[in-house]
Amino acid sequence: MGAPPLSPVQAERTKWAPLINRSFARLWSGQVVTDLGTVVFNTALVVWVASVLAHGHPWAPLAVSGLLLAQSLPMVVVRPFAGVFVDRWDVRRTMLRMDAVRVALVALLLVPVTLPLAPAWQLAAVYLVVLLVSACGQFFNPALLALINDLVPEEDLPRASGLSEVTWSTASVLGPPLAAPLVLSLGIAWVLVLNAGSFAVSYVTLRAIHPPQRADRSGEGASRVLEELRDGLRFVLANHTVRTVTLAIAIAMLGAGTLHALDYFFVTESLHAAPALYGLVGLAFGGGSIVGALLAGRIAPRLGVARTFVYALLGVGVAIVVLSRQTSLAPALVVWVVFGAVNAAANVAMMPLLLGATPRALVGRMNALFFTAITVTSLLSSTLAGWLDSDVLRGFSMTLLGMRLGPVDTLLALAGLLICASGVYAAAKLYNAVGITCRDRRVA
């Protein structure tokens, strides 16, 4: 007797096996272009402001810091409220609108950057557009997570998460080396055209996707926004799995922010490497992230997303502790590759773990509150690490068990131990509640 015929859903999954199904394949292809365009855009603006617009001026570092502030501020101020509206609105329509607005904003920026305006006016226009584009992203990104939740069967979520992580890691590796030559050879205007085009590609691919219809509550007024935001916060605090993952990642980001703030000084001071070699760190970390995301997307369904998350989080902590003890660049780069791989694995496992515990009606608010929490802790960690290195631990030196400790490597070792503690916390809290399968199942 032959095998029973495949259902339409099974047939589509078989045909599109590497990319799960036709709809996710279209979504993923659009995000490949958009992610690369975003990384190039963000890096190119830093290069243009520092080397062209503010070149030779003492306020150049402050001008670049303003860019980073404009990108980060909406993540804290806008995203929690954006999650409420994402849960109300049709997510595909939300993403289409955000892409259309971003195309228009980036295209409008062509006017002030190409006119002979005073640098102050050009800089103000850049800040405003970066702020508004970032604000659009705070609606787009939770909607993207909700759309993936609608398009991908639960058993394929780890693979979808792995593909998304590969996309962003690849963009992070390729984008910065492309940005500087584009700005310096073609000019910032062409970078803006390419970035607007990347959002247009995302718009076109979204138009070709037809997700399941969900209840659209876009007609509801703004009077209940705060109440719905509180509902989302109560869910995050009450749901065992979501609360545990959020706290574990927030603790981990307190450590990871230290590395983000001090990695340049670690390379130049602790590893005694030339500043020109600092770019190799991004390549090593990004390369490891791509490999780790691909492997985790395959391993997590077999091992279980909770176990993958815990083991990867512990791996991140151990990798940073080992990294802190390196004294030359070559072995440190090897550790950075491993660090990138386990960090990507943690990210891959995190998405299906959170989605598996979150009702569909709360996905937007869960995502928004989760990323707001980790953004705040990362910013606090980076600020604290910079202050400790430049003030409290300035000139610090001691020998412990035959190992010389300075300010930067000591802070990195403490950061790694803090991330290990977050992994132990996640293991203790998730073991009984999650195990291999999730106790807090998502509901339709």
C-alpha 407/C-alpha 392 separation (Å) is 9
**One domain, residues 37 and 181:** yes
Q: Looking at the domain assignment, is residue 11 inside a domain?
A: no
The pLDDT of residue 102 is above 90 = yes
Q: Using the structure block, give the residue that is written with the tokens 């009606």.
A: 361
Q: Residue 272 belongs to what domain range? A: 231-433
The pLDDT of residue 67 is above 60 = yes
pLDDT reported for residue 321:
93
Better-scored residue on pLDDT, 53 or 295:
295
The pLDDT of residue 439 is above 70 = no
pLDDT reported for residue 388:
63
C-alpha 165/C-alpha 349 separation (Å) is 10
Could you write out the DSSP letters of every residue in 82-118?
A: HHHHHHHS-HHHHHHHHHHHHHHHHHHHHHHHHS---
**One domain, residues 259 and 199:** no
**One domain, residues 175 and 91:** yes
Q: Which of 143, 175, 209 is where one domain is finished? A: 209
Q: Which of 179, 209, 239 is where one domain is finished? A: 209
Q: Looking at the domain assignment, is residue 10 inside a domain?
A: no
Q: Looking at the domain assignment, is residue 54 inside a domain?
A: yes
Q: What is the pTM of this model?
A: 0.81
- Indicate the pLDDT class of residue 437, thresholds 50, 70 and 90: very low
**Of the candidates 166, 195, 162, 189, the residue with the CA atom closest to the CA atom of residue 39:** 195
Q: Looking at the domain assignment, is residue 224 inside a domain?
A: no
**One domain, residues 34 and 134:** yes
Calculate what percentage of the chain has a pLDDT beyond 70. Answer: 86
Q: Which of 209, 243, 271 is where one domain is finished? A: 209
- Kindly report, residue by residue over 318-335, the tens digit of the pLDDT: 999 999 988 899 999 999
**One domain, residues 198 and 249:** no
Burial of 379 by CB count in 10 Å (0-12 exposed, 13-18 middle, 19+ buried)? middle
> For residues 332 and 277, is the Cβ–Cβ distance under 8 A?
no
**One domain, residues 175 and 239:** no
**One domain, residues 197 and 266:** no
Which CATH number is 147's domain given?
1.20.1250.20
Q: Looking at the domain assignment, is residue 40 inside a domain?
A: yes
**One domain, residues 99 and 139:** yes
**One domain, residues 203 and 240:** no
C-alpha 367/C-alpha 348 separation (Å) is 15
Q: Looking at the domain assignment, is residue 257 inside a domain?
A: yes
**Sign (positive/negative) of CA torsion 336, 148, 371, 304?**
negative
How many domains are contained in the chain? Answer: 2
**What's the CA angle centered on 312, arms 270 and 327, to 5 degrees?**
15
Q: Looking at the domain assignment, is residue 61 inside a domain?
A: yes
Q: Which of 136-145, 237-246, 261-270 has the lowest mean pLDDT?
A: 261-270
C-alpha 241/C-alpha 432 separation (Å) is 11
Measure Cα distances from 440 to 172, 354, 433 in Å: 34, 10, 8
**One domain, residues 205 and 242:** no
> For residues 420 and 321, is the Cβ–Cβ distance under 8 A?
yes
* H helix intervals, 115-156: 119-151
> For residues 389 and 408, is the Cβ–Cβ distance under 8 A?
yes
**One domain, residues 279 and 391:** yes
> For residues 75 and 372, is the Cβ–Cβ distance under 8 A?
yes
The whole-number average pLDDT for the span 142-151 is 92
Q: Looking at the domain assignment, is residue 4 inside a domain?
A: no
Could you write out the DSSP letters of every residue in 246-300?
A: HHHHHHHHHHHHHHHHHHHHIIIIIS---GGGGHHHHHHHHHHHHHHHHHHHHHH
Tokens matching residue 268 = 């130049």
**One domain, residues 174 and 265:** no
